[in-house]
Amino acid sequence: MEFARGGENGFANAFQHLSDDVLSRATILYIDVSFEESLRKNRRRYRPEQADSILYHSLEDAKMERYYKDNDWERLSGGHDEGFIAVKGHQVPFAVFHNEPEKTLDPELLGAALRDVTGRLVKLFTHKG
C-alpha cells in the first residue's frame, strides 16, 4: 500500500484505517524526500500530452503544497531511521530510504539502497515482539 504525506496528521490518520490483520504483517518503508525535491520532481515528470498517465501526471503547485508540504513522519518516527511505530496496539517496523541525493536514476545506487532498507526491515520484522 502506498500513502502520501497528507498533512500534519496524514500518516497517523491513514494508519488507523488499517485492519489488525494488515498491521500484524506490515512494515513501513518511508521514502525521505524534502518537499522542495518532491515539488521539483512533480514539475519534471509532467508531459502535457500524457497528463492522464500515472507516470507523467502532475499536480498544481498549490495542491502539492496543500497535500504534501506538511508531514507527520518525523513525529511518528521520533526522527529515527528505523524502529517501530505503535499503531492500534501493533508495533509496526519501519525503515527510512533517503532519496536525496536522488538514487532512483542510477540502477546501481538504487539497488544498493533498496537492499539496505529492505534488509533492515526484514531484521526488524523478524525480531519484533
Domain boundaries of the chain, sorted by first residue? 10-126
Q: Is pLDDT of 84 > 80?
A: yes
- Confidence at residue 129, expressed as pLDDT on a 0 to 100 scale: 63
The pTM of the full predicted model, rounded to 2 decimals, is 0.84
Task: Give Cβ neighbours of residue 65 (< 8 Å, ≥ 6 apart).
Answer: 35
Higher pLDDT: 48 or 112? It is 112
| Torsion 68-64-118-120 (CA) sign | negative
pLDDT band at residue 68, thresholds of 50, 70 and 90? confident
**8 A C-beta contact, residue 92 and residue 85:** yes
pLDDT, average across residues 95-108: 91
For residues 93 and 71, give the distance between their C-alpha atoms in angstroms, rounded to a whole number. Answer: 19
Give the distance from CA 15 to its chain's centroid.
13
Residue 62: count of CB within 10 angstroms of its CB: 8
